[in-house]
Amino acid sequence: MYVLVGVAACKGADAVFHMAAPDSSINNFNLHYSVTVEGTRNVVNACISNNVRKLIYTSSPSAVFDGVGAIINGDESMPYPERHNDIYSETKAQAEAIVLAANGKSGLITCALRPSSIFGPGDRLLVPSLVAAARSGKMKFILGDGKNVYYFTYVENVAHAHVCAEKALDLNNSYTGDVAAAGKAYFVTNKEPIPFWTFVSEILEGLGYERPKIHLPIKLLMPIACLVAWAYEHLPFLFGGKPPQFTPSRLRLVSSWRTFNCDRAAKLLCYHPVVPLEEGMRRTVESYTHLRAESKGAKSREFKVVSKSHRFLGEGVVSELLLWRNVRNTLIFGLAVLALLYYFLISSVTVISAVSKLLLVLIAATFLQHFLPTSVFGSQRKVLASFSFEVPEDKMDLASKWVRCAWNDSWNTLEDAVHKRNFTSLGKVLLFGFMMKVLGRYSFATVILTGWALLFLVFHLYDRYESEIDSFVGSMKEFVSKRHTILMERVSYLQQERNSKNKACKLNSRGFSLKGCS
Protein backbone atom coordinates (compact mmCIF):
# COMPACT_ATOMS: atom_id res chain seq x y z
CA MET A 1 0.00 0.00 0.00
CA TYR A 2 2.81 2.43 0.92
CA VAL A 3 4.56 1.79 -2.42
CA LEU A 4 1.43 2.51 -4.44
CA VAL A 5 0.79 5.73 -2.53
CA GLY A 6 4.46 6.76 -2.98
CA VAL A 7 4.36 6.06 -6.71
CA ALA A 8 1.20 8.12 -7.15
CA ALA A 9 2.59 11.03 -5.11
CA CYS A 10 5.91 11.12 -6.99
CA LYS A 11 4.43 10.87 -10.47
CA GLY A 12 5.53 13.79 -12.65
CA ALA A 13 7.72 15.34 -9.90
CA ASP A 14 11.20 16.69 -10.62
CA ALA A 15 12.24 16.82 -6.93
CA VAL A 16 10.90 15.13 -3.81
CA PHE A 17 11.34 16.41 -0.25
CA HIS A 18 10.97 13.53 2.20
CA MET A 19 10.24 14.89 5.70
CA ALA A 20 7.87 12.31 7.22
CA ALA A 21 8.74 10.93 10.68
CA PRO A 22 6.83 9.88 13.83
CA ASP A 23 6.89 11.83 17.07
CA SER A 24 10.39 11.43 18.51
CA SER A 25 9.00 11.13 22.07
CA ILE A 26 7.26 7.83 21.21
CA ASN A 27 9.85 5.12 21.80
CA ASN A 28 8.11 2.40 19.75
CA PHE A 29 10.39 0.38 17.49
CA ASN A 30 7.69 -0.99 15.17
CA LEU A 31 6.26 2.49 14.58
CA HIS A 32 9.60 4.15 13.85
CA TYR A 33 10.93 1.30 11.73
CA SER A 34 7.80 1.01 9.58
CA VAL A 35 7.48 4.77 8.99
CA THR A 36 11.09 5.94 8.95
CA VAL A 37 13.03 3.01 7.50
CA GLU A 38 10.51 1.11 5.39
CA GLY A 39 8.72 4.33 4.44
CA THR A 40 11.99 5.87 3.22
CA ARG A 41 12.80 2.75 1.21
CA ASN A 42 9.35 3.04 -0.40
CA VAL A 43 9.94 6.71 -1.25
CA VAL A 44 13.28 5.88 -2.89
CA ASN A 45 11.69 3.12 -4.98
CA ALA A 46 8.82 5.42 -5.95
CA CYS A 47 11.29 8.10 -7.07
CA ILE A 48 13.22 5.61 -9.19
CA SER A 49 9.98 4.23 -10.71
CA ASN A 50 8.82 7.72 -11.70
CA ASN A 51 12.24 8.91 -12.93
CA VAL A 52 12.41 11.62 -10.27
CA ARG A 53 15.74 13.46 -10.57
CA LYS A 54 16.26 14.77 -7.03
CA LEU A 55 15.46 13.49 -3.52
CA ILE A 56 16.20 15.61 -0.43
CA TYR A 57 15.76 13.78 2.87
CA THR A 58 15.20 15.53 6.21
CA SER A 59 17.41 13.60 8.61
CA SER A 60 18.53 14.55 12.12
CA PRO A 61 21.81 15.30 14.00
CA SER A 62 20.72 12.53 16.37
CA ALA A 63 21.79 10.08 13.66
CA VAL A 64 25.37 10.51 14.95
CA PHE A 65 24.52 11.00 18.65
CA ASP A 66 25.15 8.09 21.01
CA GLY A 67 23.76 9.82 24.13
CA VAL A 68 27.09 9.45 25.97
CA GLY A 69 29.73 11.73 24.49
CA ALA A 70 29.28 15.45 23.92
CA ILE A 71 29.29 16.76 20.33
CA ILE A 72 31.31 19.99 20.11
CA ASN A 73 31.57 21.56 16.64
CA GLY A 74 30.86 18.17 15.08
CA ASP A 75 31.08 17.86 11.31
CA GLU A 76 29.84 15.36 8.73
CA SER A 77 32.94 13.17 9.11
CA MET A 78 31.43 11.78 12.33
CA PRO A 79 30.47 8.11 11.84
CA TYR A 80 27.20 6.54 12.90
CA PRO A 81 27.61 5.28 16.49
CA GLU A 82 27.40 1.59 17.33
CA ARG A 83 24.58 2.34 19.73
CA HIS A 84 22.17 5.26 19.43
CA ASN A 85 20.48 7.30 22.14
CA ASP A 86 16.99 6.02 21.25
CA ILE A 87 14.96 4.25 18.57
CA TYR A 88 14.16 7.53 16.79
CA SER A 89 17.88 8.27 16.29
CA GLU A 90 18.68 4.71 15.20
CA THR A 91 15.95 4.58 12.53
CA LYS A 92 16.83 8.09 11.32
CA ALA A 93 20.41 6.93 10.73
CA GLN A 94 19.19 3.86 8.82
CA ALA A 95 16.86 5.94 6.64
CA GLU A 96 19.62 8.47 5.93
CA ALA A 97 21.96 5.69 4.86
CA ILE A 98 19.29 4.34 2.49
CA VAL A 99 18.84 7.77 0.84
CA LEU A 100 22.57 8.41 0.45
CA ALA A 101 23.15 4.88 -0.92
CA ALA A 102 20.47 5.52 -3.56
CA ASN A 103 22.43 8.43 -5.02
CA GLY A 104 23.25 7.71 -8.68
CA LYS A 105 20.76 4.85 -9.09
CA SER A 106 18.70 5.21 -12.29
CA GLY A 107 19.63 8.89 -12.54
CA LEU A 108 18.43 9.76 -9.03
CA ILE A 109 20.60 12.24 -7.09
CA THR A 110 20.10 12.54 -3.34
CA CYS A 111 21.30 14.32 -0.21
CA ALA A 112 20.30 14.45 3.46
CA LEU A 113 19.88 17.49 5.71
CA ARG A 114 20.36 17.34 9.48
CA PRO A 115 18.59 20.40 10.95
CA SER A 116 19.43 20.78 14.63
CA SER A 117 16.54 21.26 17.08
CA ILE A 118 13.91 22.84 14.85
CA PHE A 119 11.63 25.45 16.43
CA GLY A 120 9.19 28.09 15.24
CA PRO A 121 5.48 28.84 14.70
CA GLY A 122 3.40 25.72 14.17
CA ASP A 123 5.73 23.50 16.19
CA ARG A 124 3.70 20.82 17.96
CA LEU A 125 6.49 19.23 19.97
CA LEU A 126 9.14 21.51 21.51
CA VAL A 127 7.22 24.60 22.69
CA PRO A 128 3.95 22.80 23.62
CA SER A 129 5.98 20.29 25.66
CA LEU A 130 7.79 23.09 27.49
CA VAL A 131 4.50 24.87 28.24
CA ALA A 132 2.82 21.67 29.44
CA ALA A 133 5.75 21.01 31.77
CA ALA A 134 5.70 24.60 33.03
CA ARG A 135 1.98 24.47 33.76
CA SER A 136 2.39 21.28 35.76
CA GLY A 137 5.23 22.81 37.78
CA LYS A 138 8.00 20.67 36.28
CA MET A 139 9.98 23.46 34.62
CA LYS A 140 11.43 24.87 37.84
CA PHE A 141 14.43 22.61 37.49
CA ILE A 142 17.58 22.69 35.37
CA LEU A 143 18.69 19.14 34.62
CA GLY A 144 22.46 19.03 34.93
CA ASP A 145 24.81 21.98 35.33
CA GLY A 146 22.89 24.06 32.75
CA LYS A 147 26.04 24.92 30.79
CA ASN A 148 25.53 22.58 27.83
CA VAL A 149 25.45 24.49 24.53
CA TYR A 150 23.05 23.77 21.66
CA TYR A 151 22.39 24.81 18.10
CA PHE A 152 18.72 25.57 17.49
CA THR A 153 17.38 26.14 13.97
CA TYR A 154 14.44 28.37 13.10
CA VAL A 155 11.93 26.62 10.86
CA GLU A 156 12.21 29.20 8.06
CA ASN A 157 15.95 28.57 7.89
CA VAL A 158 15.25 24.83 7.63
CA ALA A 159 12.91 25.46 4.68
CA HIS A 160 15.54 27.74 3.13
CA ALA A 161 18.15 24.97 3.48
CA HIS A 162 15.89 22.56 1.55
CA VAL A 163 15.52 25.08 -1.27
CA CYS A 164 19.31 25.59 -1.33
CA ALA A 165 19.83 21.82 -1.45
CA GLU A 166 17.43 21.40 -4.40
CA LYS A 167 19.23 24.13 -6.36
CA ALA A 168 22.67 22.78 -5.45
CA LEU A 169 21.79 19.30 -6.74
CA ASP A 170 20.98 20.90 -10.08
CA LEU A 171 24.12 23.04 -10.24
CA ASN A 172 26.53 20.37 -9.03
CA ASN A 173 25.00 17.42 -10.82
CA SER A 174 28.09 16.96 -13.00
CA TYR A 175 30.57 17.34 -10.13
CA THR A 176 32.23 14.40 -8.40
CA GLY A 177 34.17 13.85 -5.21
CA ASP A 178 34.34 16.46 -2.45
CA VAL A 179 32.92 19.26 -4.63
CA ALA A 180 29.72 17.34 -5.45
CA ALA A 181 26.62 18.28 -3.47
CA ALA A 182 24.90 14.93 -4.12
CA GLY A 183 25.35 11.86 -1.96
CA LYS A 184 26.23 13.76 1.21
CA ALA A 185 24.71 14.68 4.56
CA TYR A 186 24.67 18.27 5.84
CA PHE A 187 24.32 19.79 9.30
CA VAL A 188 21.94 22.76 9.26
CA THR A 189 21.77 25.26 12.14
CA ASN A 190 21.22 28.94 12.86
CA LYS A 191 24.99 29.24 13.36
CA GLU A 192 24.36 30.89 16.73
CA PRO A 193 25.28 28.62 19.66
CA ILE A 194 23.28 29.15 22.85
CA PRO A 195 23.10 27.26 26.18
CA PHE A 196 20.15 24.89 26.04
CA TRP A 197 18.62 26.12 29.28
CA THR A 198 19.05 29.75 28.28
CA PHE A 199 16.98 29.09 25.15
CA VAL A 200 14.33 27.26 27.20
CA SER A 201 14.22 30.06 29.77
CA GLU A 202 13.82 32.75 27.12
CA ILE A 203 10.90 30.92 25.48
CA LEU A 204 9.15 30.26 28.80
CA GLU A 205 9.70 33.78 30.09
CA GLY A 206 8.43 35.21 26.80
CA LEU A 207 5.20 33.22 27.29
CA GLY A 208 4.81 34.43 30.88
CA TYR A 209 6.20 31.45 32.78
CA GLU A 210 8.92 31.31 35.41
CA ARG A 211 12.50 30.55 34.36
CA PRO A 212 14.02 27.26 35.60
CA LYS A 213 16.34 27.96 38.54
CA ILE A 214 16.91 24.84 40.64
CA HIS A 215 19.77 22.59 39.47
CA LEU A 216 19.36 18.82 39.74
CA PRO A 217 22.35 16.50 39.14
CA ILE A 218 22.04 13.99 36.31
CA LYS A 219 23.52 11.17 38.42
CA LEU A 220 20.62 11.57 40.82
CA LEU A 221 17.95 11.73 38.12
CA MET A 222 19.11 8.94 35.80
CA PRO A 223 18.04 6.00 38.07
CA ILE A 224 14.60 7.61 38.45
CA ALA A 225 14.30 8.07 34.67
CA CYS A 226 15.26 4.41 34.13
CA LEU A 227 12.55 3.39 36.61
CA VAL A 228 9.98 5.52 34.74
CA ALA A 229 10.99 3.93 31.42
CA TRP A 230 10.68 0.44 32.93
CA ALA A 231 7.26 1.25 34.37
CA TYR A 232 6.03 2.56 31.00
CA GLU A 233 7.22 -0.60 29.25
CA HIS A 234 5.75 -3.07 31.76
CA LEU A 235 2.89 -1.07 33.34
CA PRO A 236 1.65 1.24 30.55
CA PHE A 237 -1.79 1.71 32.14
CA LEU A 238 -0.14 3.88 34.79
CA PHE A 239 0.48 6.57 32.16
CA GLY A 240 -2.97 6.67 30.59
CA GLY A 241 -1.62 5.87 27.12
CA LYS A 242 0.67 8.92 27.03
CA PRO A 243 4.42 8.31 26.71
CA PRO A 244 6.44 9.80 29.58
CA GLN A 245 8.71 12.76 28.86
CA PHE A 246 11.07 11.96 31.72
CA THR A 247 13.13 9.15 30.13
CA PRO A 248 16.86 8.34 30.07
CA SER A 249 17.17 9.31 26.38
CA ARG A 250 15.47 12.67 26.97
CA LEU A 251 17.62 13.26 30.04
CA ARG A 252 20.80 12.65 28.06
CA LEU A 253 19.50 14.83 25.23
CA VAL A 254 18.84 17.94 27.36
CA SER A 255 22.05 17.68 29.39
CA SER A 256 24.60 17.09 26.58
CA TRP A 257 26.58 19.48 24.40
CA ARG A 258 25.33 19.43 20.78
CA THR A 259 27.05 21.93 18.50
CA PHE A 260 27.63 21.34 14.79
CA ASN A 261 29.74 22.78 12.00
CA CYS A 262 27.77 24.12 9.00
CA ASP A 263 30.77 24.76 6.73
CA ARG A 264 29.85 21.98 4.29
CA ALA A 265 26.29 23.31 3.86
CA ALA A 266 27.65 26.84 3.37
CA LYS A 267 30.22 25.69 0.80
CA LEU A 268 28.30 23.14 -1.27
CA LEU A 269 24.68 24.24 -0.75
CA CYS A 270 25.32 27.99 -0.39
CA TYR A 271 23.22 27.86 2.79
CA HIS A 272 23.21 30.79 5.22
CA PRO A 273 20.51 31.49 7.83
CA VAL A 274 18.00 34.11 6.71
CA VAL A 275 16.38 34.63 10.13
CA PRO A 276 18.60 35.35 13.20
CA LEU A 277 18.06 33.30 16.34
CA GLU A 278 16.73 36.18 18.43
CA GLU A 279 14.23 37.15 15.72
CA GLY A 280 13.15 33.53 15.38
CA MET A 281 12.56 33.25 19.12
CA ARG A 282 10.53 36.47 19.07
CA ARG A 283 8.33 35.21 16.21
CA THR A 284 7.89 31.88 17.96
CA VAL A 285 6.75 33.45 21.23
CA GLU A 286 4.33 35.75 19.41
CA SER A 287 2.77 32.83 17.54
CA TYR A 288 1.79 30.96 20.71
CA THR A 289 -0.61 33.48 22.23
CA HIS A 290 -3.00 30.65 23.13
CA LEU A 291 -0.31 29.05 25.30
CA ARG A 292 0.54 32.14 27.32
CA ALA A 293 0.31 31.88 31.09
CA GLU A 294 -2.32 34.65 31.26
CA SER A 295 -4.42 33.22 28.41
CA LYS A 296 -8.01 32.69 29.63
CA GLY A 297 -8.64 29.83 27.22
CA ALA A 298 -5.53 27.92 28.18
CA LYS A 299 -6.19 24.50 29.61
CA SER A 300 -3.71 24.02 32.39
CA ARG A 301 -3.24 22.82 35.92
CA GLU A 302 -2.18 26.11 37.39
CA PHE A 303 -1.83 26.52 41.11
CA LYS A 304 -5.13 28.39 41.17
CA VAL A 305 -6.92 25.22 40.06
CA VAL A 306 -8.06 23.32 43.14
CA SER A 307 -6.68 19.78 43.03
CA LYS A 308 -7.88 16.97 45.28
CA SER A 309 -4.79 17.26 47.48
CA HIS A 310 -5.25 21.03 47.81
CA ARG A 311 -8.91 20.59 48.76
CA PHE A 312 -8.13 17.78 51.23
CA LEU A 313 -5.48 19.88 53.00
CA GLY A 314 -7.86 22.80 53.49
CA GLU A 315 -6.67 25.10 50.67
CA GLY A 316 -4.71 27.16 53.17
CA VAL A 317 -1.15 27.64 54.39
CA VAL A 318 -0.70 23.94 55.17
CA SER A 319 -1.69 23.04 51.62
CA GLU A 320 0.68 25.62 50.14
CA LEU A 321 3.58 24.23 52.18
CA LEU A 322 2.95 20.49 51.73
CA LEU A 323 2.28 20.82 47.99
CA TRP A 324 5.49 22.83 47.40
CA ARG A 325 3.66 25.84 45.94
CA ASN A 326 6.59 27.95 47.07
CA VAL A 327 9.76 25.85 47.18
CA ARG A 328 11.66 28.34 49.33
CA ASN A 329 8.95 28.55 52.02
CA THR A 330 8.46 24.78 52.03
CA LEU A 331 12.18 24.12 52.50
CA ILE A 332 12.48 26.70 55.28
CA PHE A 333 9.42 25.39 57.13
CA GLY A 334 10.38 21.74 56.65
CA LEU A 335 13.93 22.22 57.88
CA ALA A 336 12.77 24.32 60.84
CA VAL A 337 10.30 21.69 62.00
CA LEU A 338 12.88 18.97 61.36
CA ALA A 339 15.31 20.81 63.61
CA LEU A 340 12.66 21.04 66.34
CA LEU A 341 11.86 17.35 66.00
CA TYR A 342 15.52 16.51 66.33
CA TYR A 343 15.84 18.80 69.35
CA PHE A 344 12.84 17.29 71.12
CA LEU A 345 12.84 13.64 70.06
CA ILE A 346 16.23 12.45 68.84
CA SER A 347 18.62 14.29 71.14
CA SER A 348 18.98 13.28 74.75
CA VAL A 349 17.22 16.45 75.91
CA THR A 350 13.92 15.73 77.66
CA VAL A 351 10.73 17.40 76.52
CA ILE A 352 10.37 19.49 79.67
CA SER A 353 13.96 20.78 79.58
CA ALA A 354 13.68 21.51 75.83
CA VAL A 355 10.46 23.51 76.30
CA SER A 356 12.03 25.36 79.22
CA LYS A 357 15.06 26.35 77.11
CA LEU A 358 12.86 27.51 74.25
CA LEU A 359 10.73 29.63 76.57
CA LEU A 360 13.87 31.08 78.14
CA VAL A 361 15.28 32.05 74.73
CA LEU A 362 11.91 33.51 73.70
CA ILE A 363 11.61 35.61 76.87
CA ALA A 364 15.20 36.83 76.56
CA ALA A 365 14.71 37.78 72.88
CA THR A 366 11.46 39.62 73.66
CA PHE A 367 13.08 41.47 76.56
CA LEU A 368 16.15 42.54 74.54
CA GLN A 369 14.04 43.67 71.62
CA HIS A 370 12.76 46.66 73.57
CA PHE A 371 16.33 47.98 73.99
CA LEU A 372 17.12 47.95 70.27
CA PRO A 373 16.85 51.18 68.22
CA THR A 374 13.80 51.67 66.00
CA SER A 375 16.00 51.49 62.89
CA VAL A 376 18.62 48.75 62.43
CA PHE A 377 20.93 49.00 59.38
CA GLY A 378 18.44 51.24 57.62
CA SER A 379 15.41 48.95 58.12
CA GLN A 380 12.59 49.62 60.55
CA ARG A 381 12.33 47.26 63.50
CA LYS A 382 8.92 45.73 64.11
CA VAL A 383 7.90 45.35 67.76
CA LEU A 384 6.06 42.13 68.53
CA ALA A 385 2.72 42.80 70.12
CA SER A 386 1.64 40.86 73.20
CA PHE A 387 -1.27 39.23 71.38
CA SER A 388 1.21 37.58 68.99
CA PHE A 389 1.80 34.96 71.70
CA GLU A 390 -1.87 34.43 72.54
CA VAL A 391 -3.92 31.52 71.20
CA PRO A 392 -7.43 32.62 70.09
CA GLU A 393 -10.29 30.90 71.89
CA ASP A 394 -12.05 29.98 68.65
CA LYS A 395 -8.96 28.06 67.48
CA MET A 396 -8.69 26.27 70.81
CA ASP A 397 -12.39 25.35 70.59
CA LEU A 398 -11.86 24.10 67.04
CA ALA A 399 -8.88 21.98 68.12
CA SER A 400 -10.78 20.49 71.07
CA LYS A 401 -13.77 19.74 68.83
CA TRP A 402 -11.49 17.98 66.35
CA VAL A 403 -9.96 15.83 69.10
CA ARG A 404 -13.41 15.04 70.51
CA CYS A 405 -14.82 14.11 67.08
CA ALA A 406 -11.81 11.92 66.28
CA TRP A 407 -12.20 10.07 69.59
CA ASN A 408 -15.97 9.59 69.17
CA ASP A 409 -15.58 8.38 65.56
CA SER A 410 -12.95 5.87 66.63
CA TRP A 411 -15.13 4.59 69.48
CA ASN A 412 -18.20 4.31 67.21
CA THR A 413 -16.15 2.34 64.68
CA LEU A 414 -14.99 -0.06 67.40
CA GLU A 415 -18.55 -0.41 68.73
CA ASP A 416 -19.89 -1.20 65.24
CA ALA A 417 -17.22 -3.85 64.76
CA VAL A 418 -17.84 -5.56 68.14
CA HIS A 419 -21.58 -5.30 68.76
CA LYS A 420 -23.15 -4.81 65.33
CA ARG A 421 -20.67 -7.08 63.48
CA ASN A 422 -20.06 -4.50 60.78
CA PHE A 423 -17.35 -6.04 58.59
CA THR A 424 -16.29 -2.66 57.19
CA SER A 425 -15.69 -1.31 60.68
CA LEU A 426 -14.01 -4.57 61.66
CA GLY A 427 -11.63 -4.19 58.72
CA LYS A 428 -10.76 -0.64 59.84
CA VAL A 429 -10.03 -1.85 63.38
CA LEU A 430 -7.88 -4.74 62.17
CA LEU A 431 -6.00 -2.45 59.78
CA PHE A 432 -5.37 0.05 62.57
CA GLY A 433 -4.14 -2.72 64.86
CA PHE A 434 -1.84 -4.07 62.16
CA MET A 435 -0.39 -0.61 61.55
CA MET A 436 0.23 -0.16 65.28
CA LYS A 437 1.97 -3.54 65.35
CA VAL A 438 4.23 -2.55 62.44
CA LEU A 439 4.98 0.90 63.87
CA GLY A 440 5.71 -0.68 67.26
CA ARG A 441 8.85 -2.25 65.83
CA TYR A 442 10.45 1.15 65.38
CA SER A 443 11.36 3.90 67.79
CA PHE A 444 9.02 6.83 68.27
CA ALA A 445 11.59 9.23 66.82
CA THR A 446 11.98 7.11 63.66
CA VAL A 447 8.21 6.96 63.14
CA ILE A 448 7.82 10.73 63.60
CA LEU A 449 10.69 11.64 61.26
CA THR A 450 9.61 9.14 58.59
CA GLY A 451 6.02 10.35 58.79
CA TRP A 452 7.18 13.96 58.49
CA ALA A 453 9.19 13.17 55.36
CA LEU A 454 6.33 11.22 53.79
CA LEU A 455 3.93 14.08 54.56
CA PHE A 456 5.91 16.38 52.27
CA LEU A 457 6.37 13.71 49.61
CA VAL A 458 3.05 11.85 49.27
CA PHE A 459 0.74 14.84 48.85
CA HIS A 460 3.19 16.52 46.45
CA LEU A 461 3.46 13.42 44.25
CA TYR A 462 -0.30 12.93 44.17
CA ASP A 463 -0.79 16.60 43.30
CA ARG A 464 1.65 16.30 40.38
CA TYR A 465 0.49 12.90 39.07
CA GLU A 466 -3.15 12.96 40.11
CA SER A 467 -4.57 11.61 36.85
CA GLU A 468 -1.96 8.82 36.57
CA ILE A 469 -2.48 7.70 40.18
CA ASP A 470 -6.27 7.87 39.86
CA SER A 471 -6.02 5.79 36.69
CA PHE A 472 -3.88 3.19 38.47
CA VAL A 473 -6.22 3.07 41.50
CA GLY A 474 -9.20 2.77 39.18
CA SER A 475 -7.56 -0.14 37.37
CA MET A 476 -6.80 -1.85 40.69
CA LYS A 477 -10.39 -1.33 41.88
CA GLU A 478 -11.70 -2.80 38.64
CA PHE A 479 -9.33 -5.76 38.98
CA VAL A 480 -10.38 -6.41 42.60
CA SER A 481 -14.06 -5.98 41.70
CA LYS A 482 -13.81 -8.56 38.92
CA ARG A 483 -12.01 -11.02 41.17
CA HIS A 484 -14.61 -10.44 43.91
CA THR A 485 -17.44 -11.07 41.44
CA ILE A 486 -15.81 -14.29 40.22
CA LEU A 487 -15.24 -15.43 43.81
CA MET A 488 -18.84 -14.72 44.84
CA GLU A 489 -20.16 -16.52 41.75
CA ARG A 490 -17.99 -19.51 42.66
CA VAL A 491 -19.22 -19.47 46.26
CA SER A 492 -22.83 -19.20 45.05
CA TYR A 493 -22.29 -22.11 42.67
CA LEU A 494 -20.79 -24.28 45.41
CA GLN A 495 -23.64 -23.35 47.76
CA GLN A 496 -26.23 -24.34 45.14
CA GLU A 497 -24.38 -27.57 44.47
CA ARG A 498 -24.29 -28.31 48.17
CA ASN A 499 -28.02 -27.61 48.56
CA SER A 500 -28.78 -29.86 45.60
CA LYS A 501 -26.68 -32.62 47.12
CA ASN A 502 -28.39 -32.27 50.51
CA LYS A 503 -31.80 -32.42 48.81
CA ALA A 504 -30.77 -35.54 46.93
CA CYS A 505 -29.55 -37.16 50.11
CA LYS A 506 -32.89 -36.46 51.79
CA LEU A 507 -34.64 -38.21 48.92
CA ASN A 508 -32.23 -41.10 49.28
CA SER A 509 -33.12 -41.46 52.94
CA ARG A 510 -36.69 -42.12 51.82
CA GLY A 511 -35.67 -45.19 49.79
CA PHE A 512 -34.11 -43.83 46.60
CA SER A 513 -30.62 -44.95 45.58
CA LEU A 514 -28.64 -41.91 44.41
CA LYS A 515 -24.95 -41.62 43.60
CA GLY A 516 -22.94 -39.34 45.87
CA CYS A 517 -24.91 -39.94 49.09
CA SER A 518 -23.33 -41.90 51.88
| Domain at 112, CATH number | 3.40.50.720
What residues make up the domain containing 236? 2-291
Residue at 181 is within a domain: yes
Residue at 398 is within a domain: no
Close Cβ partners of 247 (under 8 Å, ≥ 6 residues apart): 27, 225, 228, 229, 232
pLDDT at 35: 92
Residue at 203 is within a domain: yes
Phi, psi dihedrals of residue 459, rounded to the nearest 5°:
-65, -35
Overall number of domains in the chain: 1
SS3 assignment, position 186: strand
SS3 assignment, position 345: helix
Residue at 104 is within a domain: yes
CB 120 within 8 A of CB 284: yes
Bridge partners of 379, per DSSP, are 376
Residue numbers in the chain where pLDDT is lower than 70: 1-7, 172-175, 237-241, 294-307, 314-315, 345-351, 372-389, 420-421, 423, 439, 444-445, 505-518
CB 214 within 8 A of CB 169: no
SS3 assignment, position 405: helix
pLDDT at 191: 92
Residue at 34 is within a domain: yes
Cα 308 from chain centroid (whole Å): 20
Residue at 461 is within a domain: no
* Tens of pLDDT, residues 60-73: 999 999 888 788 99
Phi, psi dihedrals of residue 258, rounded to the nearest 5°:
-145, 85
pLDDT at 2: 37
CB 96 within 8 A of CB 59: yes
How many Cβ atoms are within 10 Å of 183's Cβ, its own excluded? 17
Pairing between strand 194-195 and 149-150?
antiparallel
How many Cβ atoms are within 10 Å of 93's Cβ, its own excluded? 22
Q: How far is CA 310 from CA 140, 176, 324, in A?
A: 20, 68, 11
Residues in the chain: 518
Residue at 250 is within a domain: yes
* Tens of pLDDT, residues 408-454: 888 887 777 777 667 677 777 788 788 777 767 777 667 777 877 78
Residue at 280 is within a domain: yes
**Catalytic pick from 54, 92, 184, 191?**
92
- 92 catalytic, yes or no? yes
